[in-house]
A and B are shown apart, each in its own frame.
Chain A
């Protein structure tokens, strides 16, 4: 039995009268590629922010990398990387300056940071653009820079919150390529949120979320077998009674 990278118990969050996440029980294994599938408003981002200690839970708790999110935020944050749904880069700085800023926030020694930044810039095809301001980058390149920022400190657990939003097909493919190579080389745990079923297909296991509740949790193959259907799309329909694309506003 491997240790759990993420272990949520009755985790929930309200925003005023809105219940964004009800009571989530969830275990993500070390090294797992975990999909968190649900339409807009399902509570995916809220869950990620709770696990990353950016939000305080209204009820329940969770351990991330073995640390309690309520009491040891620093230790949790030391072990995770998070690529936010929207870019967090400083548009007025260059790509390289952004990465250097991140390296300092994560307390990487300057010489180590310089080597990692160069490697990341090359890996993401940003090396030629490193002196350009983020403002001048295309959406895909900006996303790549965001991801480079998220893994610069070599986290054990990487949260990717709808990372393909705004990416063209080619950039999407290279993102999947990257996730594969990161997982192969470092045993990284990946927690991927998405509202595209096809993106959940390659995951080891998928949690299906609907309006703040966990509707199903299993391997993609098992989910399809149990529901007796051919696609995850239909699994969602079978489990929630409505279609993935219909709930929530965009």
Chain B
């Protein structure tokens, strides 16, 4: 549909135009690789089955998609403040179409970032995926982007203003990252956190990426742990549920910036 295409194109053009955002999103995983990599490698030392930086690679890719797609989708809050959301809502398209367009745009932005990072990161850590593994990794990246994009649109639709952004980072992004298996296997976590990990879309994405990239180390317990179809189904479910909920929420109060009315009252 043309409207969806239009929303996706706009999202991508905006991303390319914000040079700083594009650069920092590509640089971020390497900062983690250097600093977190060094720290956790020391803890990991002694287990010689896998180099920690290798272990980290799928998680870092997952992290790139998460930040890329989630932040792009959260820009819906900015769209509402700037009025652009109203332009979309007054167009002869369904509310769900707007949510879908934003989600797909966010997925494209996250996927593009992950592919650029993968092209540098995998050779750096010395990972050469098989063709099948590369394809599965691409599917994992796209599915993770969809799930987190939809979640981001949903969060943005429910958020009053961009001021709640820090809350989202503290209560959504960081828990999601630390409970994803990106930095350490989640099976070592206590039962409560382990259950929480199963409610975490990123955990399924990272697990899928481990299937794709760390299959060689599966026997020593560093590959993907859940069945591949389960990972895919869970991610698809997050994407669909997020989309279904975001559509109606997005149109609340006509997409008018609510901040304006708090001042008037």
Using a CB–CB cutoff of 8 Å, the interface residues on chain A facing chain B are 15, 18, 49, 52, 54-55, 74-75, 77-78, 80, 82, 84, 86-93, 97, 100-108, 149, 249
Q: Are B87 and A249 in contact (CB under 8 A)?
A: no
A102 to B261, CA, bound (A): 27
- Beyond A49-B254, A54-B90, A80-B90, 15 additional contacts (C-beta under 8 Å) are A49-B256, A74-B93, A86-B83, A88-B83, A88-B84, A90-B82, A91-B82, A92-B17, A93-B10, A102-B87, A104-B7, A104-B9, A105-B6, A106-B92, A107-B93
| Nearest-neighbor residue (CB-CB) of B260 within chain A | A86
Residues of chain A with a CB closer than 8 A to B3's CB: 104-107
Q: B216: CB under 8 A from chain A?
A: no
4 tightest CB-CB pairs across the interface, nearest first?
A: A104-B6, A54-B254, A105-B91, A88-B83
Q: From residue 171 to 213 of chain B, which have CB atoms closer than 8 A to chain A?
A: none
Pick the contact of B91: A92, A93, A106 (CB < 8 A).
A106
Interface residues of B in 238-265 (CB under 8 A from A): 251, 253-256, 261, 264-265
Contact A249 B264 (CB under 8 A): yes
Asked if B94 is an interface residue, CB under 8 A from chain A, the answer is yes
* B residues at A contact (CB < 8 Å): 1-3, 5-7, 9-10, 13-14, 17-18, 82-84, 86-94, 251, 253-256, 261, 264-265
Nearest CB to that of A149 among chain B residues?
A: B87
Q: Which residue of B84, B88, B91, B264 is within 8 Å of A89 (Cβ)?
A: B84
Residues of B within 8 A of A102 (CB): 87, 91
Residues of A within 8 Å of B10, CB to CB, are 90, 93, 97, 101
Please report the C-alpha to C-alpha distance between residue A121 and residue B179 in the assembled complex, in whole angstroms. 52
> Which A-chain residue is minimally distant from B6 (CB atoms)?
A104
A84-B86 in contact (CB<8A): yes
B81 vs chain A, min Cβ distance (A): 10
| Other-chain residue from A86, A105, A249 in contact with B93 (beta carbon distance below 8 A) | A105
Q: Separation in Å of the B197 CB from the closest CB of chain A?
A: 37
Q: What residues of B have a CB within 8 angstroms of the CB of A108 in the complex?
A: 2
The residue from A55, A84, A90, A101 contacting B253, defined by CB atoms under 8 A apart = A55
Between A77, A104, A149, the greatest number of chain B beta carbons within 10 A of the residue's beta carbon is seen for A104
B91 x A77 contact (CB < 8 A): yes
In the assembled complex, the Cα of A249 lies from the Cα of B263 at a distance in Å of 12
Contact of B87 among A80, A88, A91, A97 (CB under 8 A): A88
Cα distance, A97 to B11, chains bound together (Å): 12
Contacting pair B90 A52 (CB below 8 A) = yes
8 CB contacts below 8 A, A to B, read A52-B90, A54-B256, A78-B92, A90-B10, A90-B82, A93-B13, A101-B6, A105-B6
> B89: which A residues are within 8 A, CB to CB?
54
Residues of A within 8 A of B264 (CB): 249
Which A residues are CB-close (under 8 A) to B90? 52, 54, 77, 80, 82, 84
From A54, A77, A93, A106, give the contact of B14 (CB < 8 A): A93
A92 to B264, CA, bound (A): 28
Give the residues in chain A near B82, CB-CB below 8 Å. 88, 90-91
Distance in angstroms between the alpha carbons of A78 and B93 in the assembled complex: 9
How far apart are B126's CB and chain A's nearest CB, in angstroms?
Answer: 39
Give the complex CA separation of A52 and B6 in angstroms. 22
Q: Complex formed: what's the CA distance from A54 to B256 in Å?
A: 9
In the bound complex, residues from chain A placing their C-beta under 8 Å from that of B7 are 101, 104-105
Q: For residue A90, which residues in chain B have a CB less than 8 angstroms away from its CB?
A: 10, 14, 82, 84
The residue that B261 contacts in the complex, of A15, A89, A100, A249, with Cβ under 8 A, is A15
User: Are B83 and A87 in contact, with the CB atoms below 8 A?
Assistant: yes
Name the CB-closest residue of B to A90: B84
Q: How long is the Cα–Cα vector from A101 to B82 in the complex, in angstroms?
A: 15
Q: Min CB distance, A92 to chain B, in Å? A: 6
**Closest CB of chain B to A48's CB: distance in Å?**
10
Residues of chain B within 8 A (CB-CB) of A89 are: 83-84, 87
Which residues of chain A have C-beta atoms less than 8 A from B256's C-beta? 49, 54
Once the chains bind, are B86 and A88 in contact (CB under 8 Å)?
yes
With a cutoff of 8 Å between Cβ atoms, the chain A residues found around residue B2 in the complex are 104, 107-108
* Chain A residues near B261 (CB-CB < 8 A): 15
- Known A88-B84, A102-B87, A105-B87; judge A77-B92 contact (CB<8 A): yes
Cα A103 to Cα B9 in complex, Å, equals 13
Residues of B within 8 A of A78 (CB): 92
- The CA of A52 and the CA of B261, in the complex, are separated in Å by 20
Q: Please indicate the chain A residues that have their CB under 8 angstroms from the CB of B86 in the complex.
A: 54, 84, 88
